[in-house]
Amino acid sequence: DADVTQTPRNRITKTGKRIMLECSQTKGHDRMYWYRQDPGLGLRLIYYSFDVKDINKGEISDGYSVSRQAQAKFSLSLESAIPNQTALYFCATSDLQIGDPRGTDTQYFGPGTRLTVL
C-alpha cells in the first residue's frame, strides 16, 4: 500500500551493529505497528503505538526498541543486531480509535523490509 512506506527495503548488516528501520504513513491513522515475519511463524507483533504518546510492547519486543516521532512516523531499532533477527519486518497502520471497541482495526501494511544479519 503506497500510503505506508518503509525504508530501507533491504538491508544487510553485521552482528553488533545498530540498525533503524523507518515507517511513514499518509493515511492519518493514529495506530501503528511493527511486525516480524519468519517462515512458518506468521506475523509476530514487536511493538505497537496507539498514538504519539503511547508505546506498547508486543509478544517479541526483546532486542528491539521503537520511537514514535509523529503521528505519521514510527521507527524500529535493533540496538545490537544478532543473526536470529534476520527476518522480514512489516510496519502497519490501523484506523481503530482509542477506547472504541466497535472499530475493526483493519490493518494496512507497508511493503516490508528484508533484514539480514550476518
Compute the CA torsion angle 42, 10, 116, 89 (nearest 10 deg): -30
Q: Does residue 84 touch other proteins according to CB under 8 A?
A: no
Per the structure block, which three cell numbers stand in for 105? Answer: 482495526
Cβ nearer to other proteins, comparing 56 with 69: 56
Give me the least distance between CB of 27 and other proteins, in Å please.
13
Tell me the pairing of strands 113-117 and 10-13. parallel
Q: Does residue 101 touch other proteins according to CB under 8 A?
A: yes
What backbone phi and psi angles, to 5 degrees, belong to 83? -55, -35
Q: Closest by alpha carbon to 34, among 113, 117, 118, 116?
A: 113
- Which residue in the set 64, 90, 93, 117 belongs to the binding site for other proteins (CB under 8 A)? 90
Lay out the site mask for other proteins across 26-45 (x = CB under 8 A, - = otherwise).
-----x-x------xxxx-x
Residues that bind other proteins (CB under 8 A): 1, 31, 33, 40-43, 45, 48, 50, 56, 90, 94, 96, 98-99, 101, 103-112
